[in-house]
Structure 1
Amino acid sequence: DGQIYLQSNLFASGFRPAVDVGISVSRVGSAAQIKAMKQVAGKMKLELAQFRDLEAFAQLGTELDPATQAQLDRGNRIVQMLKQPVSSPYPVEEQVVEIFAVTRGYMDKIPVARVQEYGKFLLTTIKEKYSEVLDAIRKEKKISDEEKLGEVLSQVAEEFLRKH
């Protein structure tokens, strides 16, 4: 139950489905989500809505202060992180880790153009070296240790930046 609002400008820019997360509502969505997704989705929805507003403002050609530019960059990282190959769904625990990483600033040092490459590196590294993180989210259906997850994400980002 709810309303989904589509935006033609999002569709034209290649963002599909072109759902305007700022004004679309659903009473079913949160009931169908595990707690871990609820923990990260609200912040992502808010940041995406703010990003869309700032993006429209930034197109006016006005010089932006560093905080606004950082918010735009994070919004662009979120958009890039959300892109995935057609017919290749990710397990929910991997989605949660990526959304947590991008909305909590653990991808802020990753250049926007390399976010998708980093996303693959992040998930591969976590599966190989920190599988207990994904296992815990899968089993508990929540992020029970945000501090530990943050430490892992910091280490993976540093490793990526050193290697690339």
Structure 2
Amino acid sequence: EEISNIIRERIEQYNREVKIVNTGTVLQVGDGIARIHGLDEVMAGELVEFEEGTIGIALNLESNNVGVVLMGDGLMIQEGSSVKATGRIAQIPVSEAYLGRVINALAKPIDGRGEILASEYRLIESPAPGIISRRSVYEPLQTGLIAIDSMIPIGRGQRELIIGDRQT
């Protein structure tokens, strides 16, 4: 009788939930890109997680493989490694607390000044606000290079790509 009570209790506690996981296998990896076979239901811009913990973004959806941009060094990812889709489109936290901070590609602080708290998230692939709704640019952005600051005036808040050396 004791055994049947234990079995009955276990049957009642059994969770019948079936969890479907969209997985794939690494075909090739290099130069910050991984080619994945599988991930049949992955969405463009969806975050994927490699078995060793690296996060990637699915960008190139082809009929027989998926191109994933790695958001880490990916040194431990090997051919044949497992990858799973997270079901979440890539988004980043937004907050005034990010101003003046140094962050990595996943918006994690790398300046040694602690975590950044944010209550709002936005999709990284969202359309920019229209030109009319934007606040006008009125404050200059100093690059620190006199030649650039004098020849190419850049306004703070202006949409401009500024590329520099790692040391700058």
TM-score, normalised to structure 1's length? 0.25
More helix by share: 1
More strand by share: 2
Q: Which has the larger radius of gyration?
A: 2
Of structures 1 and 2, the one scoring higher in RCO (CA 8 A, sep 6+) is 1
TM-score, normalised to structure 2's length? 0.24
